[in-house]
């Protein structure tokens, strides 16, 4: 990753130069921790080659400023070009957004961390694209880690529920709230059950319902139909609250949220 130091005077000049779209790019890089060039292009530069060139220019400029940083590894190898760069927020980007935010500094992360984090980002990007296609809904709110975590006290003391993502979606006149769990098939089923049990325990306490009016459903998005079936059988055989969980493949996860699949 590159590093960049700027003086207070330079920072003020950069503040004057930052566009609304620049800020949106930085907000996404900060919120999701890692985002690929392709994902940023799909979010903020949809369209043909003209927009693709604009995306490359903007990302190169933010990188040159030190507002964005690039990982040493790429997604898709060299053939992916600039779309394959993986970005995180840079120190200048943090200062441009707000001096009061918690720092998001990353050393070069592991391959597993990169893959999982980009999967969560991809879920959000695909959701935004799907909502735009339906033309009758919107993403009302979303929270990434750790903003989406929930602290609570119960039997055994203080516990922390750690979803990968929280989303609130408006479809027609209804609002649908979801906790999202992206499973890459690397966890044993007992670990999936332990986390699901934590969700169920939090649900039964009624804390979320008191604060927000209802409890989000939990979507497990996993790698294959076989894995999804195994997770679903395990959940169905448990004493956990029925209807609280939904298990689908990553391929169909966003469809499950926007109602395109039964």
3-state SS string over the chain? CCCCCCCHHHHHHHHHHCCHHHHHHHHHHHHHCCEEHHHHHHHHCCCCHHHHHHHHHHHHHHHHHCCEEEEEEECCCHHHHHHHEEEEECHHHHHHHCCCCCCCCCCCCCHHHHHHHHHHHHHHHHHHHHHHHHCCEEEEEEEECCCCCEEEEECCEEEEECCCEEEEEEECCEEEEEEEEECCCCCCHHHHHHHHHHHHHHHHHCHHHHHHCCCCEEEEEECCHHHHHHHHHHHHCCCCCCCCEEEEEHHHHHHHHHCCCC
pLDDT higher than 50, residue 1: no
pLDDT-based confidence at residue 2 (cuts at 50, 70, 90): very low
| The pLDDT value given to residue 262 | 39
| The pLDDT value given to residue 3 | 53
| The pLDDT value given to residue 105 | 65
pLDDT-based confidence at residue 250 (cuts at 50, 70, 90): very high
Which residues on adjacent β-strands are paired with residue 35?
87
| The pLDDT value given to residue 100 | 63
| The pLDDT value given to residue 261 | 44
What average pLDDT score do residues 34-42 get? 96
pLDDT higher than 90, residue 98: no
| The pLDDT value given to residue 79 | 53
What average pLDDT score do residues 222-231 get? 96
pLDDT tens-place string over residues 135-185: 778 999 999 999 999 999 977 789 999 999 999 999 888 899 999 999 999
| The pLDDT value given to residue 209 | 97
Which residues on adjacent β-strands are paired with residue 166?
143, 179
Q: What is the mean pLDDT of the chain?
A: 89
pLDDT higher than 50, residue 117: yes
pLDDT-based confidence at residue 106 (cuts at 50, 70, 90): low
Q: CA torsion, points 126, 128, 130, 132, in degrees to nearest 10?
A: -150
């Amino acid at each position: 990753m590159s590093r960049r130091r700027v003086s207070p005077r330079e920072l003020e000049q950069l503040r004057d130069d930052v566009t609304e779209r620049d800020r949106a790019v930085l907000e996404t890089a900060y919120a999701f921790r890692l985002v690929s060039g392709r994902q940023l292009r799909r979010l903020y530069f949809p369209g043909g080659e003209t927009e693709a060139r604009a995306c490359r220019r903007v990302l190169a400029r933010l990188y040159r400023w030190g507002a964005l940083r690039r990982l040493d590894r790429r997604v898709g190898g060299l053939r992916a070009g600039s779309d394959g760069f993986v970005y995180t927020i840079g120190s200048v980007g943090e200062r441009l957004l707000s001096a009061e935010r918690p720092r998001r500094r990353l050393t070069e992360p592991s391959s597993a961390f990169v893959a999982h984090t980009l999967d969560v980002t991809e879920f959000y990007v695909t959701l935004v694209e799907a909502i735009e296609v339906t033309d009758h809904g919107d993403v009302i709110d979303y929270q990434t880690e750790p903003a989406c975590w929930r602290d609570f006290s119960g039997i055994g003391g203080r516990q922390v529920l750690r979803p990968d993502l929280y989303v609130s979606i408006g479809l027609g006149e209804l609002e649908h709230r979801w906790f999202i769990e992206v499973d890459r098939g690397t966890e044993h089923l007992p670990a999936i059950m332990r986390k699901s049990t934590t969700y169920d325990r939090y649900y039964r306490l009624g804390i979320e319902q008191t604060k927000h009016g209802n409890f989000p459903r939990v979507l497990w998005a996993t790698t294959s139909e076989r894995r999804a079936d195994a997770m679903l059988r395990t959940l169905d055989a448990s004493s956990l609250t029925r209807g609280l969980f939904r298990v689908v493949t990553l391929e169909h996860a966003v469809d499950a949220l926007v109602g395109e699949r039964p």
